Amino acid sequence: MQQQDHHFGSGALHLAGHLVTPDGEGAVKDLHAVSNGGVPAVLICHGFPSGPGGGANSPATFPELANRIARELGWVALVPYLRGMPGSDGNFSLDGWRDDLLAAVRHLRNAEEVGVQVSGVWAVGFGTGAGLAICAAAVEQGINGVGALATPADWSDWADNPRRLLLHARDAGLLSDPDFPADFAKWAGALRSLSPEASVGGLAPRDLLLVHGSDDYAVPPLDARALAEAHGAADLRMISGAGHHLRHDPRAIAVLLGWLVRQRRLHGQAD
């Protein structure tokens, strides 16, 4: 397994990330799967940080998850640090984060930049990152499927009070420019124009895994049910007694890893 601090472009921005590629005895056959077009890749999408300095803390455990997926499953894994996050250029906007995920997908497909030929890309997200993964997949057919944990159906709460969100983003360190946004109405408009529930039909019939905690008080379980209904064939898993932070729930991660294994087999990837 080879891991590294990584960088890629999103428009004019220079974004940081954590890239890990499989190697060693357990992954040799994956790296030799040229007949199938290469190795599967997963894009791991972090959520919106909370609290002062939260930008530095939000993705802290995602490299560990990426390493595990590469080591145990033999996948390429990329954790992009979206605009405004530490190490990345730019300032937070919801549509900007969606665009960054699209740029990360294109980047993963570039073997010269990643160092491994990628056969397909799946997106996995948590919270806001999960919702944006759905929105990205709706416009990018190159995303084979989405694993979405603790996903909001929309961002109507943010849209109802965008100035409060702007303050949260500034407190979390996601806005380096004191004059950002230059066009507040456009920045705030993305909070309503982007909607996982409205977008998820564009993901179908590609596979969607929805994992939600039964005791999630930040994003109600009803949101997951609404997304499943809008998709039409989602694999919905409710984790009994779990809250919002499913990254730290071993049951949720086990469901996610099992889904990735099944996705690989469904798409004819070498094991």
pLDDT given for residue 248 in this prediction: 92
Tens of pLDDT along 178-205? 999 999 999 999 999 999 999 999 999 9
pLDDT tens digit string along 82-139?
999 999 999 999 999 999 999 999 999 999 999 999 999 999 999 999 999 999 999 9
| Percentage of the chain modeled with pLDDT above 70 | 89
pLDDT in tens, 221-242: 999 999 999 999 999 999 999 9
pTM of this prediction? 0.92
- Report the pLDDT value the prediction gives residue 23, as an integer from 0 to 100: 73
What is 2-266's CATH superfamily?
A: Alpha/Beta hydrolase fold, catalytic domain (3.40.50.1820)
How are beta strands 13-21 and 118-126 bridged, if at all? unpaired
Chain-centre distance of CA 248, in angstroms? 16
- Quick one: pLDDT at residue 27? 38
Cis, peptide link before residue 181, omega less than 30° from 0:
yes
Residue 48 CA to residue 86 CA, distance in Å, equals 13
Annotated domain spans of the chain = 2-266
Half-sphere exposure of 31 (CA within 13 A, CB side): 14
Q: Is the pLDDT of residue 10 over 90?
A: yes
Residue 228 pLDDT: 98
What's the mean per-residue pLDDT of the chain?
91
